[in-house]
Structure 1
Amino acid sequence: MTTAPFYHLDIPALADWLEGDSPLTLVDIRDPQSFAQGRVPGSQRLGNDTVEAFLGEAPRQPPLVVICYHGHSSQQAAAWLAGQGFAEVYSLDGGFTDWQHRHPDRVER
């Protein structure tokens, strides 16, 4: 199995992107309870139970950012999603943990 390339995105870059008007898809692969307790604004949870619907509905052109706890698991998911035809896929370095630390006022609950 081959995986397509993905890119790394740091927290300041994501903060800038969220302030802009450009289309962006954010997916969070953490467990449902963690996601419910806090998430990057505008993100949607992506798990084994939702991935099929996501693949059928999600636009392939806007940048897709994958978020996990610390930025490790999101790399594997980003590579896999890039292989599913998404044009521009990013793994968020530092994950939600770093986002919440740097932007506690920008956590959606």
Structure 2
Amino acid sequence: MSFSRLDIATLASWLDESRAVTLVDIRDPMSFASGHLPGSTRLDNLNLGDFLDQADKAAALVVICYHGNSSQGAAGWLSSQGFAEVHSLDGGFTAWQAEYPDRVAS
């Protein structure tokens, strides 16, 4: 299994279209608390098992980190866990927040 890199404009259009997509954010708790994509779930080693048990593996999965680097490793690993479609968000949360400041939850 593998993943693809997803640009923020494509993700924005998917969200506008209400496409079935699961958003996971792998940043630290304080960064997530200060801002994240609406509807995203912070994913870490403590809740990973529950996430894998409960996630819809048929829905597109988008992994978000700070700049789009760490998310690639996580996306690769998650794709090996049976998710049908896994993406790493290019530019990460930093790029999303710069482009869509009105589409950030805290």
TM over 0.5, shorter chain = yes
Q: Which 4+ runs in 1 deviate beyond 2 A?
A: none
Instruction: Structure 1: state its 5+ residue gaps.
Output: none
Give the share of equivalent positions with the same residue, in percent: 59
Question: Partners in 2 of 1:11 and 1:23 — Cα distance?
Answer: 16
TM-score by length of 2: 0.98
Aligned length: 106
Q: Deviations over 1:58-89 (max 9, x none)?
A: 01001000000000000000000000000000
Q: Which residue pairs with 2:76 in the alignment? A: 79
Instruction: Structure 2: state its 5+ residue gaps.
Output: none
Deviation at 1:21, TM superposition (A): 2.1
Question: Partners in 2 of 1:22 and 1:105 — Cα distance?
Answer: 20
TM-score by length of 1: 0.95
Q: Which residue pairs with 1:35 in the alignment? A: 32
Q: Which residue pairs with 1:91 in the alignment? A: 88
